[in-house]
Structure 1
Amino acid sequence: MEEQELGLRFQRHFLAARQLRGMPWAELEQRLRAAPERSQSSLLTAILHQTVLHPLCVRYPPPASYRRLFLAELIQKHESTAADPLDELYDALARVLNEEESAYCYKNYLLPSGEPVTLSESVAIISQGTTGLITWDAALHLAEWAAENPVVFRNRTVLELGSGVGFTGLAICKTCNPKTYIFSDYHHCVLKQLRENIYLNGFTLEPETVSAAQAECQGQEAEGKKYQQPQLIVAELDWGSATEKQLLGLQADIVIAADVVYDPEVTLSLIGMLQKFSTLRADRKPEVYIALTVRNPDTYHLFQAELDKAGIRWQILPAHSNRILLHDTQPNVTILQLFM
């Protein structure tokens, strides 16, 4: 049972292409030293099949460079034992060595249920002039919190600001049963990748893409209907030009955002957007949750000060206990609940 748990930790970490140094290598070394020779080979083979040879990896692989480094480390652990050579390990490395690098890769994030959220992401942190083509830790943090608090989202209309490639929304759609989920972003490359990832996870869009203005009629059509899966909408939403009328048309019960507080200029634009929600009539003001990584304390304090200046009350939500997605790190991430 302990060996199975170790393999699952490697699996969750590897399929999502998390940092290699965060994997349980030391624990693996301890197990190998304590195990008889046959068990050493069996353990390493099991980890290989839970990672590089896992069906998700075969179909939706992480970067080739990442798989090469992982296999090299696994082979090094194997060669430190007295076990006979494992041909499968060297065969797997040979196949990856022949692969060309790509600007995009897949990452498979396993939810607490074991169901994956599979995303096509950029290999580079900044690509095509945007940071929105990769998944950031605050998105994982918000998804974990949502999985522990599904009642917040169940049978409600959720608007996500700055959806990026879609991880948080897809995780919520698979775990929390919202009625409608509106992904929104502004960069055209991000919107294209977002739509592809929605389809990749078995969802459909009705219609394929809508503007913020068009979403009002879409929301009205959804009233009174029951959907076996949430109705998913992609909205091109510019925080600077969106109007109160457009936001009212989205009919959002919940507004969320992850990792959108990282730059003073972006922060001020977000505050302006939130102020538009605060002008809606009382029965249409949404609940708002913002997950952010505190990289620069000054930027974080600016966000809090601007919220106060705008008359938007806020509170820090208690830390959640679920560490399925972020088991390899303790990021300085917090979630604020805002009161319009």
Structure 2
Amino acid sequence: MLANQSPTTSGLDKFTANILQRIPQRHLHIPFDSIQNDEQYQHSLLATLQTISLTNPFYAKQTLESLLGHRAQTVISGDLMDSYYDLLSTLLFSKPLLATDPDLIQYNITPQISIKVWETPMIISGAGTTGFRTWEASLFLCEYLAAEMSTTTAMTTSFKGDHKFNGLELGCGTGIVSMFILKFLQSISGNGSVCLTDGDSSLIEKLAPNLTLNDITATEAETEIATPETSITHKSQRLWWGEDSIPENVDIIYAADVTYDSSVIPSLVTCITQALTQGVKYCLIAATIRNEDTIRVFELALDQVPLRWEIVQERETSAGGNYSNISGQAGLVWYAEGTPAIKIYKIEL
């Protein structure tokens, strides 16, 4: 389970993370007193709102109206007040984004690592895929990996020194989990390779802008991000479960929200079995429990192979809000009220 929110959580950091994640305005808590006492943050917040206004001017306008409509003369310092109102004046006639309009969302997984994603967050499914938005299970898996890779575990040692992390993502969608791993590898001067896969070729083609946004060079071929001490490579390819072969030299497979329908379970389990048989050490699957019957089909399919599995982390149905991450430190990811329970499965031969 997730720990209670740490008392050391910065209200300012949380507020910034929330507006970058575009949480609904009705859930946005503005720390007026903290903003008033930190002029440096007031400068930073103005820059953040200017950036948001480029892709979602209506959201920036709403945030400014909430901020300036409450004790405006005392919250923002006099020198900056004109700049805030100048920005608001340029946004007065902005309209809400359409459901099909993309937005540039930033997820602060840890205080040190954030991921930017072009996505259409209001679209649940379109063009035969659910991969146009980031799902909560992906964020929870990122939080889990952040905790695992930041502690003394077998996973951590596979990132450092002479060890090399070799991972593959199934159903990568927006690519957020793999991008987090790549940025983590860069942050610790680690070594590794990451393969992003999805059954939808159009989603693979859309990965390039997101990779570029996160300073991860993107090409169709394998790309290397290297320093004299490190070697980090990544590639993207289409992979149809149960039909296409798993690439060689993969140690860990990970995926989020790939158990959404019982009809895909047989091919998913076939793919996992194939991977483990050819030498993959284990698979991590973050599953959102929208339907107990569907997740039971998944567990029974694993048992029938048979494969060994355990639930290594889970979170209960969300009451909504920011939570501490799995390590028990201050959490910056926001989960909507009613977010279903999420379980992370570790699967081995």
What TM bracket, shorter-length normalisation?
Answer: 0.7 to 0.9
Q: 3-state SS of the aligned residue for 1:268? A: helix
CA distance in 1 between partners of 2:140 and 2:191 (Å)? 19
Question: Equivalent residue for 2:333?
Answer: 326
Post-superposition offset of 1:47 = 6.2
Select the structure that is richer in helix.
1
Paired residue type of 2:48:
H
CA distance in 2 between partners of 1:83 and 1:158 (Å)? 47
Post-superposition offset of 1:121 = 1.3
Question: Equivalent residue for 2:3?
Answer: none
Paired residue type of 1:187:
D
Post-superposition offset of 1:60 = 8.8
- The match for 2:345 among 311, 319, 336 is 336
- The match for 2:110 among 101, 109, 112 is 112
Question: Equivalent residue for 1:169?
Answer: 178
CA distance in 1 between partners of 2:288 and 2:29 (Å)? 25
CA distance in 1 between partners of 2:41 and 2:56 (Å)? 18
Write the mapping of 1:67-216 to structure 2, written as runs, cut at 5 A: 67-78=60-71, 86-98=81-93, 101=97, 103-125=101-123, 126-150=125-149, 151-152=154-155, 154=159, 155-176=164-185, 177-205=190-218, 208-209=219-220
Q: 3-state SS of the aligned residue for 2:47? A: coil
CA distance in 1 between partners of 2:9 and 2:342 (Å)? 30
CA distance in 2 between partners of 1:96 and 1:14 (Å)? 16
Paired residue type of 1:337:
K
Map Cα deviations across residues 199-239 of structure 1 (whole Å, 9 max, x no partner).
2222224xx336xxxxxxx79xx9xx987351011011111
Post-superposition offset of 1:46 = 6.4
CA distance in 1 between partners of 2:85 and 2:53 (Å)? 21
Unaligned runs of 5+ residues in structure 1 are 33-38, 211-217
Q: 3-state SS of the aligned residue for 2:70? A: helix
Paired residue type of 1:272:
T
Give the 3 Å change call, closer, same or farther, for CA 96–47 of structure 1 in structure 2: farther
Post-superposition offset of 1:328 = 4.9
Unaligned runs of 5+ residues in structure 2 are 1-6, 315-325
Q: Percent identity?
A: 24
CA distance in 1 between partners of 2:21 and 2:265 (Å)? 29
Give the 3 Å change call, closer, same or farther, for CA 46–129 of structure 1 in structure 2: farther
Q: Is the 8 A contact 1:143 1:168 kept in 2?
A: yes
Post-superposition offset of 1:252 = 0.7
Q: 3-state SS of the aligned residue for 1:273? A: helix
Question: Equivalent residue for 1:237?
Answer: 239
Q: 3-state SS of the aligned residue for 1:120? A: strand
Paired residue type of 2:305:
A
CA distance in 2 between partners of 1:83 and 1:110 (Å)? 25
- The match for 2:57 among 45, 57, 64 is 64
Map Cα deviations across residues 109-143 of structure 1 (whole Å, 9 max, x no partner).
22424343222112432343322011111111111
TM-score by length of 2: 0.75
Greater RCO (Cα-Cα under 8 Å, separation 6 or more): 2
Write the mapping of 1:303-314 to structure 2, written as runs, cut at 5 A: 303-314=298-309
Alignment length (residue pairs): 307
Give the 3 Å change call, closer, same or farther, for CA 108–175 of structure 1 in structure 2: same
Give the 3 Å change call, closer, same or farther, for CA 141–62 of structure 1 in structure 2: farther
CA distance in 2 between partners of 1:21 and 1:337 (Å)? 37
Q: 3-state SS of the aligned residue for 1:250? A: coil
Q: 3-state SS of the aligned residue for 1:159? A: strand
CA distance in 2 between partners of 1:167 and 1:263 (Å)? 21
Give the 3 Å change call, closer, same or farther, for CA 51–108 of structure 1 in structure 2: farther
Question: Equivalent residue for 1:36?
Answer: none
Query: Which stretch has the larger CA shift, 176-185 or 255-264?
Result: 176-185
Map Cα deviations across residues 290-328 of structure 1 (whole Å, 9 max, x no partner).
112111222122211111122112101145235534355
Map Cα deviations across residues 136-165 of structure 1 (whole Å, 9 max, x no partner).
111111111111112515121100001111
Q: Is the 8 A contact 2:42 2:76 kept in 1?
A: no
Post-superposition offset of 1:68 = 2.9
CA distance in 2 between partners of 1:60 and 1:286 (Å)? 45
TM-score by length of 1: 0.77
Map Cα deviations across residues 81-114 of structure 1 (whole Å, 9 max, x no partner).
8999944443323323455747211112224243
CA distance in 1 between partners of 2:86 and 2:127 (Å)? 35
